[in-house]
């Protein structure tokens, strides 16, 4: 059985739902609370590569940390990645990895489809 890694925030309802979905599916894995254990830039880039998304695609644009960045509309992907590292609250969650692939599990249907792959 493949094990999962879920990067999540336990205060987020969608994140808790994804974790429960994985458990209900009979999967075992690791829970990483990325607000408590922040990513390095290299770790987050590797995860983004695995889920095949750019930093801008996992950016929570309604957060005050993002809105407080004066030049936010002109940032390139590497600069957005730096913002995600500096303010991990800006990372959309949850992210689930199984093997060398993964998914942004929001909405939950994304996770259900991902688990049905292969």
Domain count, the chain: 1
Q: What is the CATH number of the domain that holds 83?
A: 3.40.30.10
What local confidence, expressed as pLDDT, does residue 1 receive?
Answer: 55
What is the domain extent for residue 10? 4-115
Cβ–Cβ under 8 Å, residues 38 and 85: yes
Mean pLDDT confidence for 40-56: 97
* Partner residues linked to 91 by β-bridges: 59
* Catalytic site includes residue 83: no
* Partner residues linked to 98 by β-bridges: 4, 101
- In the set 3, 7, 11, 12, the catalytic residue is 12
Sequence-distant (≥ 6) Cβ neighbours of residue 51 within 8 angstroms: 58, 95, 97, 101, 102, 103, 104
pTM: 0.92
What local confidence, expressed as pLDDT, does residue 2 receive?
Answer: 77
């Amino acid at each position: 059985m493949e094990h999962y890694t879920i990067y999540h925030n336990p205060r987020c309802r969608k994140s808790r739902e994804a974790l429960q979905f994985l458990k209900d599916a009979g999967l075992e894995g690791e829970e990483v609370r990325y607000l408590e254990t922040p990513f390095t830039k290299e770790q987050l880039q590797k995860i983004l590569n695995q889920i095949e998304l750019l930093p801008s695609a996992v950016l929570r644009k309604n957060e005050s940390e993002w809105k407080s960045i004066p030049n936010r509309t002109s940032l390139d992907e590497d600069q957005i990645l730096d913002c995600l590292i500096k303010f991990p609250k800006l990372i959309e969650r949850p992210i689930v990895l199984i093997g060398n692939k993964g998914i942004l599990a929001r909405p939950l249907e994304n996770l259900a489809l991902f688990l049905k792959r292969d």
